[in-house]
């Protein structure tokens, strides 16, 4: 059995490492091509998302707790709050 799995495991390892290597090259090339203006625009998109993501996570976790308590009204209110935070982040981004 080991003789059959060893080649497949080796191939899987080679493919994984090859994919990681190519990802590194793509990211490096992207950084070299990106202009300062492009970097600023990407940062402007990232900032609201990074600020609002923890709020959305917190509201979603609270909604899950409310659901476990079988408090449907509170769970729905918190899901709506999560949606509001995410939609605001996308609009401002």
Q: Is 51 in contact with 33 (CB distance < 8 Å)?
A: no
pTM of the model: 0.46
Q: What angle do CA 11, 14, 16 make, to 5 degrees?
A: 110
**Contact assessment for residue 62 and residue 55, using Cβ atoms and an 8 Å cutoff:** no
Q: Show pLDDT as tens, one digit a residue, over the chain (93 residues).
A: 566 777 777 778 777 766 666 767 777 777 777 788 888 888 887 877 777 778 878 888 888 899 899 999 999 988 888 888 778 777 765
């Amino acid at each position: 059995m080991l003789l059959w799995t060893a080649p497949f495991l080796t191939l899987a390892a080679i493919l994984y490492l090859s994919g990681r290597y190519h990802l590194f090259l793509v990211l490096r090339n992207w950084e070299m091509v990106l202009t300062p203006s492009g970097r600023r625009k990407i940062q402007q998109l990232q900032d609201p998302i990074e600020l609002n993501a923890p709020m959305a996570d917190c509201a979603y976790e609270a909604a899950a707790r409310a659901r476990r308590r079988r408090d449907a009204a509170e769970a729905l209110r918190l899901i709506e709050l999560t949606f509001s935070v995410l939609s605001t982040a996308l609009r401002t981004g």
